[in-house]
Amino acid sequence: MDRDLEEYLKLIDFDSQYKRLIRKFKNKKILLYGGGKLFRLINEKYDLSKLNIIGVCDKVFNIDEEGEIYNGFKKIPPECVDKYNPDLVLTVTLEYYILINKLRNTLFKDRNIDIRPIAYVPFRMFIKEAVFGYEG
């Protein structure tokens, strides 16, 4: 797996973030959006069965692939999302601000759905970097 992504997850303390996700959302129907390297790493290193994940959506999934299994989860093309009625969408990408904004203005434009990153840079790290610069 990608060592930089592993270091990123360690740096942002994803272990704690994941435990909070489980506590807060274990009974919600969750759609993961993004099936790339970060998804594959998290899927490999963490027990995602502790969350009620209904599938993985990605812009590269075609409508004829709906329901096929991808790394243990059902493929859900963007065109088919409405059928699954998720309670929560967790973006699985490093560029989560951009993707969340895009999803809110396109795919989920007419729905009031919670969209958040599965892994995020804590606010304290933003401040630390802004004030002191990155110290690795």
Mean pLDDT of 65-86: 96
Share of the chain above pLDDT 90, in %: 80
The mean pLDDT of 9-30, rounded to a whole number, is 95
Top pLDDT among 111 and 53 is at 53
pLDDT at 132: 57
pTM value surpassing 0.85: yes
Q: How far is CA 50 from CA 22, 24, 101, 130, 132, in A?
A: 6, 11, 27, 35, 37
Question: In the chain, what are the domain boundaries?
Answer: 3-132
Residue 131 has a pLDDT of 55
For 97-114, how does the pLDDT look when each residue is reduced to its tens digit (9 = 90+)? 899 999 999 999 988 999
What percent of the chain clears pLDDT 70, i.e. is strictly above it?
A: 89
| Average pLDDT, integer, range 59-78 | 97
* pLDDT for 23: 97
Helices (H), the chain: 3-11, 14-25, 37-45, 81-84, 96-105, 123-132
Q: Which fold has domain 3-132?
A: Rossmann fold (3.40.50)
